Protein backbone atom coordinates (compact mmCIF):
# COMPACT_ATOMS: atom_id res chain seq x y z
CA UNK A 1 0.00 0.00 0.00
CA UNK A 2 1.59 3.25 -1.12
CA UNK A 3 -0.71 5.97 0.21
CA UNK A 4 1.25 8.96 -1.07
CA UNK A 5 1.01 7.62 -4.62
CA UNK A 6 -2.63 6.58 -4.23
CA UNK A 7 -1.59 3.02 -5.08
CA UNK A 8 -2.67 -0.34 -3.64
CA UNK A 9 -0.98 -3.59 -4.70
CA UNK A 10 -1.60 -7.28 -4.06
CA UNK A 11 0.39 -10.33 -5.20
CA UNK A 12 0.16 -14.10 -4.73
CA UNK A 13 3.25 -16.16 -5.55
CA UNK A 14 3.41 -19.48 -7.40
CA UNK A 15 6.21 -22.04 -7.36
CA UNK A 16 7.75 -24.33 -4.74
CA UNK A 17 10.71 -23.95 -2.39
CA UNK A 18 9.60 -20.42 -1.42
CA UNK A 19 10.00 -19.35 -5.05
CA UNK A 20 6.48 -17.94 -5.14
CA UNK A 21 7.02 -15.96 -1.95
CA UNK A 22 10.20 -14.50 -3.42
CA UNK A 23 8.46 -13.57 -6.68
CA UNK A 24 5.52 -11.86 -4.99
CA UNK A 25 7.63 -9.96 -2.46
CA UNK A 26 10.14 -8.93 -5.12
CA UNK A 27 7.32 -7.55 -7.29
CA UNK A 28 5.97 -5.42 -4.47
CA UNK A 29 9.44 -4.29 -3.36
CA UNK A 30 10.32 -3.20 -6.89
CA UNK A 31 7.11 -1.22 -7.29
CA UNK A 32 7.72 0.45 -3.93
CA UNK A 33 11.31 1.29 -4.85
CA UNK A 34 10.42 2.67 -8.26
CA UNK A 35 7.41 4.74 -7.27
CA UNK A 36 8.92 6.10 -4.05
CA UNK A 37 11.65 7.60 -6.25
CA UNK A 38 9.28 8.75 -9.02
CA UNK A 39 7.94 12.13 -7.92
CA UNK A 40 5.97 12.48 -11.15
CA UNK A 41 3.90 9.31 -10.68
CA UNK A 42 1.26 10.79 -8.37
CA UNK A 43 0.77 13.71 -10.77
CA UNK A 44 0.04 11.61 -13.87
CA UNK A 45 -3.35 11.46 -15.55
CA UNK A 46 -5.38 8.30 -15.05
CA UNK A 47 -4.42 7.09 -18.54
CA UNK A 48 -0.71 7.72 -18.01
CA UNK A 49 -0.88 6.12 -14.56
CA UNK A 50 -2.21 2.93 -16.11
CA UNK A 51 0.47 2.97 -18.80
CA UNK A 52 3.23 3.56 -16.23
CA UNK A 53 1.98 0.60 -14.22
CA UNK A 54 1.84 -1.56 -17.33
CA UNK A 55 5.45 -0.65 -18.15
CA UNK A 56 6.58 -1.53 -14.63
CA UNK A 57 4.70 -4.83 -14.68
CA UNK A 58 6.48 -5.76 -17.91
CA UNK A 59 9.86 -4.85 -16.41
CA UNK A 60 9.17 -6.91 -13.29
CA UNK A 61 8.12 -9.85 -15.45
CA UNK A 62 11.43 -9.79 -17.32
CA UNK A 63 13.48 -9.56 -14.12
CA UNK A 64 11.69 -12.42 -12.38
CA UNK A 65 11.70 -14.59 -15.50
CA UNK A 66 15.45 -14.11 -15.96
CA UNK A 67 16.10 -14.92 -12.31
CA UNK A 68 13.98 -18.06 -12.48
CA UNK A 69 15.75 -19.23 -15.62
CA UNK A 70 19.17 -18.71 -14.03
CA UNK A 71 18.42 -20.70 -10.88
CA UNK A 72 17.39 -24.35 -10.69
CA UNK A 73 15.96 -23.74 -7.23
CA UNK A 74 13.66 -20.99 -8.45
CA UNK A 75 12.88 -22.29 -11.93
CA UNK A 76 9.24 -21.62 -12.79
CA UNK A 77 8.80 -18.97 -10.12
CA UNK A 78 6.05 -16.46 -10.68
CA UNK A 79 3.33 -14.39 -9.10
CA UNK A 80 -0.02 -12.82 -9.73
CA UNK A 81 0.03 -9.03 -9.48
CA UNK A 82 -2.77 -6.48 -9.32
CA UNK A 83 -2.47 -2.75 -8.68
CA UNK A 84 -5.27 -0.25 -8.08
CA UNK A 85 -4.51 3.48 -8.36
CA UNK A 86 -6.65 6.56 -7.77
CA UNK A 87 -6.32 9.91 -9.51
CA UNK A 88 -8.87 12.55 -8.56
CA UNK A 89 -12.29 11.02 -9.13
CA UNK A 90 -11.05 8.12 -11.28
CA UNK A 91 -9.48 4.71 -10.74
CA UNK A 92 -7.30 2.43 -12.85
CA UNK A 93 -6.20 -1.18 -12.43
CA UNK A 94 -3.23 -3.05 -13.89
CA UNK A 95 -3.68 -6.80 -13.55
CA UNK A 96 -2.04 -10.16 -14.24
CA UNK A 97 -3.22 -13.50 -12.84
CA UNK A 98 -6.18 -14.50 -10.68
CA UNK A 99 -5.98 -12.16 -7.73
CA UNK A 100 -9.16 -10.11 -7.94
CA UNK A 101 -10.32 -6.53 -7.58
CA UNK A 102 -13.99 -6.01 -6.74
CA UNK A 103 -16.10 -2.88 -6.48
CA UNK A 104 -19.11 -2.63 -4.17
CA UNK A 105 -21.30 0.21 -5.41
CA UNK A 106 -24.78 0.95 -4.07
CA UNK A 107 -25.33 -2.65 -3.01
CA UNK A 108 -24.02 -4.18 -6.23
CA UNK A 109 -20.81 -6.27 -6.27
CA UNK A 110 -18.78 -6.01 -9.48
CA UNK A 111 -15.67 -8.06 -10.28
CA UNK A 112 -13.48 -5.54 -12.10
CA UNK A 113 -10.68 -7.91 -13.12
CA UNK A 114 -10.65 -10.96 -15.37
CA UNK A 115 -9.11 -14.19 -14.05
CA UNK A 116 -6.24 -15.38 -16.23
CA UNK A 117 -6.97 -19.09 -15.77
CA UNK A 118 -7.71 -22.05 -18.01
CA UNK A 119 -11.13 -22.37 -16.39
CA UNK A 120 -12.15 -18.80 -17.24
CA UNK A 121 -10.92 -19.28 -20.81
CA UNK A 122 -13.14 -22.35 -21.06
CA UNK A 123 -16.11 -20.36 -19.75
CA UNK A 124 -15.48 -17.69 -22.39
CA UNK A 125 -15.53 -20.40 -25.07
CA UNK A 126 -18.75 -21.90 -23.72
CA UNK A 127 -17.03 -25.11 -22.61
CA UNK A 128 -17.85 -24.62 -18.92
CA UNK A 129 -20.49 -22.81 -16.90
CA UNK A 130 -19.51 -20.41 -14.12
CA UNK A 131 -20.50 -23.02 -11.53
CA UNK A 132 -18.46 -25.73 -13.24
CA UNK A 133 -15.46 -23.42 -13.51
CA UNK A 134 -15.40 -22.94 -9.75
CA UNK A 135 -14.90 -26.65 -9.13
CA UNK A 136 -12.88 -27.82 -12.11
CA UNK A 137 -9.25 -28.92 -11.83
CA UNK A 138 -8.45 -26.12 -14.29
CA UNK A 139 -9.61 -23.49 -11.80
CA UNK A 140 -6.12 -22.62 -10.55
CA UNK A 141 -4.10 -23.21 -13.72
CA UNK A 142 -2.94 -19.75 -14.76
CA UNK A 143 -2.76 -18.70 -18.40
CA UNK A 144 -0.86 -15.55 -17.48
CA UNK A 145 1.41 -14.63 -14.56
CA UNK A 146 4.36 -12.42 -13.75
CA UNK A 147 7.68 -14.21 -14.33
CA UNK A 148 6.56 -17.47 -15.93
CA UNK A 149 7.10 -16.40 -19.55
CA UNK A 150 9.59 -14.08 -21.29
CA UNK A 151 6.89 -11.49 -21.96
CA UNK A 152 3.52 -10.59 -20.49
CA UNK A 153 0.61 -8.38 -21.51
CA UNK A 154 -1.10 -6.93 -18.41
CA UNK A 155 -4.78 -6.00 -18.48
CA UNK A 156 -5.74 -2.37 -17.87
CA UNK A 157 -9.12 -1.23 -16.56
CA UNK A 158 -10.34 2.23 -15.55
CA UNK A 159 -13.47 4.02 -14.45
CA UNK A 160 -15.01 6.90 -12.52
CA UNK A 161 -15.38 6.98 -8.75
CA UNK A 162 -18.64 7.54 -6.91
CA UNK A 163 -19.17 8.50 -3.28
CA UNK A 164 -19.37 5.41 -1.09
CA UNK A 165 -17.49 3.10 -3.45
CA UNK A 166 -15.76 0.26 -1.61
CA UNK A 167 -12.95 -1.65 -3.32
CA UNK A 168 -11.66 -5.10 -2.41
CA UNK A 169 -8.34 -6.59 -3.52
CA UNK A 170 -7.99 -10.26 -2.59
CA UNK A 171 -6.07 -13.43 -3.35
CA UNK A 172 -7.82 -16.62 -4.41
CA UNK A 173 -7.64 -17.83 -0.80
CA UNK A 174 -10.54 -15.45 -0.20
CA UNK A 175 -12.42 -15.59 -3.52
CA UNK A 176 -12.40 -19.41 -3.49
CA UNK A 177 -13.82 -19.62 0.02
CA UNK A 178 -16.46 -16.88 -0.11
CA UNK A 179 -19.06 -16.94 -2.86
CA UNK A 180 -20.17 -13.67 -4.40
CA UNK A 181 -23.47 -13.45 -2.52
CA UNK A 182 -21.82 -13.79 0.87
CA UNK A 183 -18.97 -11.55 -0.21
CA UNK A 184 -21.42 -8.80 -1.09
CA UNK A 185 -23.13 -9.12 2.30
CA UNK A 186 -19.85 -8.89 4.20
CA UNK A 187 -18.56 -5.93 2.20
CA UNK A 188 -21.90 -4.18 2.78
CA UNK A 189 -21.40 -4.26 6.55
CA UNK A 190 -20.67 -0.99 8.26
CA UNK A 191 -17.18 -0.76 9.66
CA UNK A 192 -13.72 0.46 8.83
CA UNK A 193 -11.71 -1.16 6.03
CA UNK A 194 -9.52 -2.81 8.67
CA UNK A 195 -12.57 -4.30 10.41
CA UNK A 196 -14.00 -5.60 7.14
CA UNK A 197 -10.66 -7.25 6.29
CA UNK A 198 -10.77 -9.13 9.60
CA UNK A 199 -14.35 -10.22 8.93
CA UNK A 200 -13.44 -11.53 5.47
CA UNK A 201 -10.44 -13.51 6.72
CA UNK A 202 -12.49 -14.99 9.58
CA UNK A 203 -15.19 -16.03 7.10
CA UNK A 204 -12.64 -17.57 4.75
CA UNK A 205 -11.16 -19.63 7.57
CA UNK A 206 -14.61 -20.64 8.80
CA UNK A 207 -15.50 -21.83 5.30
CA UNK A 208 -12.47 -24.12 5.24
CA UNK A 209 -9.80 -21.86 3.82
CA UNK A 210 -6.22 -23.01 4.10
CA UNK A 211 -4.51 -21.16 1.26
CA UNK A 212 -2.86 -17.77 1.65
CA UNK A 213 -5.58 -15.19 2.34
CA UNK A 214 -4.63 -11.59 1.69
CA UNK A 215 -7.18 -8.77 1.51
CA UNK A 216 -7.21 -5.01 1.10
CA UNK A 217 -10.37 -2.93 1.48
CA UNK A 218 -10.41 0.71 0.39
CA UNK A 219 -13.31 3.12 0.87
CA UNK A 220 -13.80 6.15 -1.35
CA UNK A 221 -15.14 8.88 0.90
CA UNK A 222 -14.13 12.25 -0.59
DSSP state of 11: E
pTM strictly above 0.85: yes
CB 95 within 8 A of CB 84: no
pLDDT at 13 over 80: yes
- Can you give the residue ranges of every domain in the chain? 1-97+144-162
Q: Give percent of the chain above pLDDT 70.
A: 96
Close Cβ partners of 94 (under 8 Å, ≥ 6 residues apart): 50, 53, 54, 57, 81, 82, 83, 85, 154, 155, 156
Give, in order, the Cα–Cα distances in Å from 119 to each of 86, 138, 154, 168, 173: 31, 5, 19, 22, 17
pLDDT, average across residues 81-90: 96
pLDDT at 15 over 80: no
Q: What is the pLDDT of residue 222?
A: 64
Q: Give percent of the chain above pLDDT 90.
A: 74
Paired with 78 in beta bridges are 14
With b for 16 or more beta-carbon neighbours within 10 A and e for fewer, the 80-108 pattern comes to bbbbbbbbeeebbbbbbbbbbbbbbbeee
pLDDT, average across residues 120-128: 88
Mean of all residue pLDDT scores within the chain: 92
| Band of residue 132 on the pLDDT scale cut at 50, 70, 90 | confident
Single out the residue of 191, 174, 185 nearest to residue 99, CA to CA.
Answer: 174
Q: What is the pLDDT of residue 1?
A: 62
DSSP state of 142: B
The length of the chain, given as a count of residues:
222
The model's pLDDT over 196-210, given as tens digits with 9 standing for 90+, comes to 999 999 999 999 887
How far apart are the C-alpha atoms of 30 and 2, rounded to whole Å? Answer: 12
> What is the second-level CATH architecture of the domain 1-97+144-162?
4-Layer Sandwich (3.60)
Show contacts of 131-140: CB within 8 Å, 24+ apart. 134/176, 139/176, 140/98, 140/172
The model's pLDDT over 139-196, given as tens digits with 9 standing for 90+, comes to 889 999 999 999 999 999 999 999 999 999 999 989 999 999 999 999 999 999 999 9
Q: What is the pLDDT of residue 218?
A: 96
Q: What is the pLDDT of residue 3?
A: 60
Amino acid sequence: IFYEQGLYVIADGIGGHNAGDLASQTSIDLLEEWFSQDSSFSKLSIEDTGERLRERFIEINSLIYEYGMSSREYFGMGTTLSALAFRGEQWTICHVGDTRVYLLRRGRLIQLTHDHTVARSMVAKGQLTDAEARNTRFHHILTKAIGTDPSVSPDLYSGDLQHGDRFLLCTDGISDMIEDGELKELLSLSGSPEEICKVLIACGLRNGGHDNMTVLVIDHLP
